[in-house]
Amino acid sequence: MATKRPPFWQREKYTPFLLLLPAILTLLFVVLLPLLFSLYTSFTGYRLIRPESLWQWVGFRNYQRIFADGDFWTAFGRTIIFLTIALNLEFLFGLGIALLINKITWGQRTLRTIMMFPMMFSPILVGYQFKFVFNDNIGILNNALQSLGLSDGAIPWLVDKYLANFSIIFAEVWMSTSVFAILLLAGLFAMPRDPLEAAKVDGCNPWQVFRHITLPFLMPFVFIAMTIRSLDVARAYDIVDVMTGGGPAGRTELLWTLIARTGYDNARMGQANAMAYVSILLSIAFTYYFFTKLLAARKYMGGAE
């Protein structure tokens, strides 16, 4: 063979890295670089309104402070509960919607568009919309309940300990269930027909078919959706900030609202970034969990790997 050895960028071994280079560079620049900066500031007494405080090294003081802060841990715990409940509800509703729409043949395209309707709404808009819906005095929900005679009082949706959390979860689920539905619908469409037919011939009932064929096939899609959503949940910040701002009395305080108030309103950026790091670790834990599940499901399916 007389052909010269190709230059390294054409060698098969390096191709994937070359292909990934733009993605890696973008993320290094937009995510990693800022993160390193905020990691540094989390060890300083950095206050937004005093630029010189960027050089005031305080070691682990910010971390010590937040770890000793009961409010922080309450917000931390509430964020985990919020994520767990919201993601599971979104999954269940998303699966339900996908299964239903999959069964309907007439008008499916319109239904699919309607199903994706909430995805057209900016999170900030979702926040305002539900702030209005849940308003105790002039909100449409209380007015509807009162007109229908289901309630004779003004239900304080955004103030009561449980209702306020219900309200923000409702808004979040309303906004994000579509993502699950569309991805799971994609999974249902991608499903091979043969095993289904075979199962029917073998006399399986619909539940058995669902349990032993459809669901296992859908699992990777479920985990994809879960992972994607767990990446994205911090978008809920916009909603919660507009609806309740974390209040009243911290009843709906999530890590993100706490971080924003500490960092911008109180201008304690160093401390806010320390909190942000804890919240990042939390997101990573969630994502990593679903990711390992995803890999396992893929192995189970015998996908490419």
Of 148-187, binders to another protein (CB under 8 A) are 152-159, 174, 178-179, 182, 185-186
Q: What is the DSSP string of 104-165?
A: --TTHHHHHHHHTGGGGS-HHHHHHHHHHHT-TTT-HHHHHHHHTTS-SS---TTTSHHHHH
Q: Give the contacts of 293 (CB within 8 A, at least 6 positions apart).
A: 223, 226
Options 11, 24, 77, 208; binder of another protein; rule CB under 8 A: 24
Q: How far is the CB of 103 from another protein (least distance, A)?
A: 5
52 interacts with another protein by CB under 8 A: no
Q: How far is the CB of 221 from another protein (least distance, A)?
A: 8
Element (H, E) at 301: helix 269-301
89 interacts with another protein by CB under 8 A: no
> Which residues inside 56-85 make contact with another protein, applying CB under 8 A?
none
DSSP 57: B
The site that binds another protein (CB under 8 A) totals a number of residues, namely 126
Supply angle C-alpha 177, 180, 181, rounded to 5. 85
CA neighbours closer than 13 Å in the CB half-sphere of residue 243:
35
Taking every pair of Cα atoms in the chain, the longest distance, rounded to a whole number of angstroms, is: 90
What string marks each residue from 260 to 299 as x (binds another protein by CB under 8 A) or -? xx-xxxxxxx---x--xx-xx--xx-xxx--x---x----
Options 249, 296, 299, 300; binder of another protein; rule CB under 8 A: 249
Options 80, 85, 89, 111; binder of another protein; rule CB under 8 A: 111
Options 61, 89, 248, 289; binder of another protein; rule CB under 8 A: 248
**Stretch of residues binding another protein (CB under 8 A), selected from 1-9, 56-64, 82-90, 257-265:** 257-265
> Which residues inside 191-230 make contact with another protein, applying CB under 8 A?
191-194, 224, 227-228, 230
Q: CB nearer to another protein: give 204 or 280.
A: 280
Supply angle C-alpha 130, 132, 134, rounded to 5. 65
Options 120, 148, 150, 201; binder of another protein; rule CB under 8 A: 120
Q: How far is the CB of 2 from another protein (least distance, A)?
A: 19
Secondary structure of residue 217 in the 3-state scheme:
helix
Options 9, 11, 30, 60; binder of another protein; rule CB under 8 A: 30
Q: How far is the CB of 284 from another protein (least distance, A)?
A: 5
Q: CB nearer to another protein: give 29 or 57.
A: 29
| Alpha carbon distances (Å) from 94 to 61, 117, 175, 185 | 43, 14, 11, 9
- The residue type found at 99 is L
CA dihedral 73, 77, 80, 81 (to 10 degrees): -160
Options 43, 76, 78, 142; binder of another protein; rule CB under 8 A: 142
